[in-house]
Structure 1
Amino acid sequence: MEMLIFGHGYTAGYLTPLAITRDWRVTGTTRNHPERVSAAGADALLWPGQEDDIRRVITRSDAILVSAAPTEGGDPVLAVFADELGRARPRWLGYLSTTGVYGDRNGGWVDETSDLTPSTARARSRVQAEQAWQALAAAHDLPLHIFRLAGIYGPGRGPFAKLRNGTARRIVKPGQVFSRIHVEDIARILMASIDAPAPGAVYNLCDDDPAPPQDIIACAARMLDMPPPPAVDFEEADLGPMARSFYSDSKRVSNERIKRDLGITLKYPDYRSALAAILKAEEEE
């Protein structure tokens, strides 16, 4: 069986080894880091640069995962490969989106049936990309699955390095909560979906424990036997536009569908178990 991953980055680095254990051959596209793709066990193709090779892989792939983010011009994969994808016949097609498409809910809960009310330009681009993929799938009877990911963390993407070098900040915005997901659980959920395709399905990927961001920093500091950084009021924090935009949405994301429909039991159901695993993995490197 053959899998193609557009945008073989951090998440794909965990999915690929898992897929290989199940006898999948994986090909991943990358802009400029073929060595990272190869290190994960996948065949690397440069994009842009090797479009003809990518087209050949599309035609023979059993599963195709799109992990490339939209740009101002729209979805980059569709812009180049829509014709080949329309003719392809994978048994599974996945698109990685974001829970940002739900917008700000003032700390309230959302699930996959909630209205999409994006509040940032990035999230609006994601809604447009989801719609473009759904249109392609409808026109060509493609088995599309959409995965809306919460904040991703894992080894190398935790707060420990910033705590150690003194750059971590504990920014407090009253009522602010985020949902998160450990990268290993993302890989496990994607494989569960590949094993049991449900064309048209939409899944939220997050853990069981939405929490304020300052709680994660404080917990990580305790694990390092360090005092937590002093609290900084959000309104007084010196944040750039990108960092500030992450605080524009506050919501709790339900993950009941992945449990019910895919039989998922999360390996890291809350930030405490996730942080402990991240710290252990980083210390073992």
Structure 2
Amino acid sequence: MKHLLILGAGFSGKAIGETFRAAGFSVSGTTRSAEKAESLRECGIEPILYDGGAISEALAADMKRATHAVQSIAPGKDGDPLFRAGTPALSTLLPELEWAGYLSTVGVYGDHKGSWVDEETALNPVSARSVERVEAENRWLGFGRASGLPVAVLRLAGIYGPGRNALRNMEEGTARRLIKKDQVFNRIRVEDIGRAALFLAERHLGGVWNITDDEPGPPQDVVAEAARLLGRPIPPDIPFETAELSPMARSFYGENKRVSNAKLKAAGFRFRFPNYRQSLAELFLSGRWRG
């Protein structure tokens, strides 16, 4: 049986695991806490405790049987945990590997003042976390070239889905319409991340892929659509310049670009949720928006 190991089975990793399980894979995933381990087990994902440090005997044993791997752990200042000094070579850790995916971010492109970017666009990361992502991308792509294995870098847009979306923010009273002139963001429904990963894995496709919806748009429009679906008043506009934001939240607004998914669609992938309106409507009508 094909076996997928997810390093960092959080929101996206869990969705990937569920998609691969439905395709007949056995799936394991790492987590830092025993509490989250139980939620993985309930989804049919075999949990392995791993804090990003030394590789335990349990994790090493699972790596030896993995035919597919997805790395979702953020690199941090010390780099990707699987390429840190003292860690055995990936070819030794993953001897049965046929395909690997690395979850990155469209943040690696930096700011393009609203212009379109694609996989060929030169990278210009602004934040420290995006600089770290570029380094990790290069390590994984380098491993793919050296080993002759397909390694796919999945550059993800803003992730949302059941339990994490504008509808829930509206219900909880945390939805805000921050207005910054001409600002747009891309988004991606978490289930489409899982479907895209399986699509690439089944076709043994490596290289860089933007995993993002069809329609970059102003973030305040998403809030307005959520309010419309719930039949609630649209929250008031808040000028970005005077809004109280965490440094991380403010940094996201320092990057403005439209990210193309044309490469993935040209390869034959079809998004189930190509825009936020269709996606929010499905979440609302299915009742899954609360998670």
Task: Indicate whether the TM-score tops 0.5.
Answer: yes
Which amino acid letter does the alignment assign opposite residue 126 of structure 1? R
- Whether the 8 Å contact between 2:192 and 2:271 is mirrored in structure 1 is yes
Of 42, 59, 77, which aligns to 1:72?
77
Partner SS for 1:96: strand
1:107-152 deviation per Cα after TM superposition (whole angstroms, max 9, x unaligned) = 0000000000011111111111111222333333332111000000
Q: How does 1:16-35 map to 2 (within 5 A)?
A: 16-32=17-33, 33-35=36-38
Asked whether the equivalents of residues 55 and 81 of structure 1 are also in contact (C-alpha less than 8 Å), the reply is no
Deviates more, 1:113-122 or 1:87-96: 87-96
Q: Paired residue for 1:222?
A: 228
The answer to whether 1:121 aligns with 2:128 is yes
* Closer, same or farther: CA 165–22 of 1 in aligned 2, 3 Å: closer
Residue 271 to residue 81, structure 1, CA distance change in 2 (3 Å): farther
Which residues in structure 2 correspond to 1:162-181 (within 5 Å)? 162-181=169-188
Relative distance call for 1:230 and 1:196 in structure 2 (3 A) is same
How do 1:4-23 and structure 2 match up within 5 A? 4-23=5-24
Q: Of the candidates 135, 143, 150, which is equivalent to residue 136 of structure 1?
A: 143
Give the distance between the partners of 2:145 and 2:274, measured in 1 at CA. 34
The residue correspondences of 1:1-285 to structure 2 (distance < 5 A) are: 1-32=2-33, 33-48=36-51, 51-79=56-84, 82-87=87-92, 88-199=95-206, 201-261=207-267, 263-279=268-284, 280-282=286-288
Provide the C-alpha distance between the structure 1 equivalents of 2:234 and 2:31, rounded to a whole number of angstroms.
Answer: 38
Asked if structure 2 preserves the Cα contact closer than 8 Å seen for 1:151 and 1:179, the reply is yes
TM-score for both structures, normalised by structure 2: 0.92
**Which SS does the other structure have where 1:146 is aligned?**
strand
Q: Which runs of 5+ in 2 are unaligned?
A: none
Distance in 2 separating the partners of 1:93 and 1:153: 23
Q: Distance in 1 between matches of 2:181 and 2:172?
A: 27
Deviations 1:19-65 (A, max 9, x none): 12222110101100211211221111100386112112212211011
Residue 246 to residue 272, structure 1, CA distance change in 2 (3 Å): same
**Using the alignment, how far apart are the partners of 1:35 and 1:60 within structure 2?**
22
C-alpha separation between the residues in 1 aligned to 2:223 and 2:85? 41
Structure 1 counterpart of 2:218, which letter?
P
Q: Which residue type is aligned with residue 232 of structure 1?
A: I
For structure 1, the residue ranges without an aligned partner over 5 or more in a row are none
TM-score by length of 1: 0.94
Contact 1:59 1:84 in 2 (8 A): no
Q: Is the 8 A contact 1:63 1:93 kept in 2?
A: yes
- Is the Cα contact below 8 Å between 2:163 and 2:289 reproduced in 1? no
| Conservation of the 8 A alpha-carbon contact between 2:178 and 2:220 | yes
Percent identity between the two aligned chains: 40
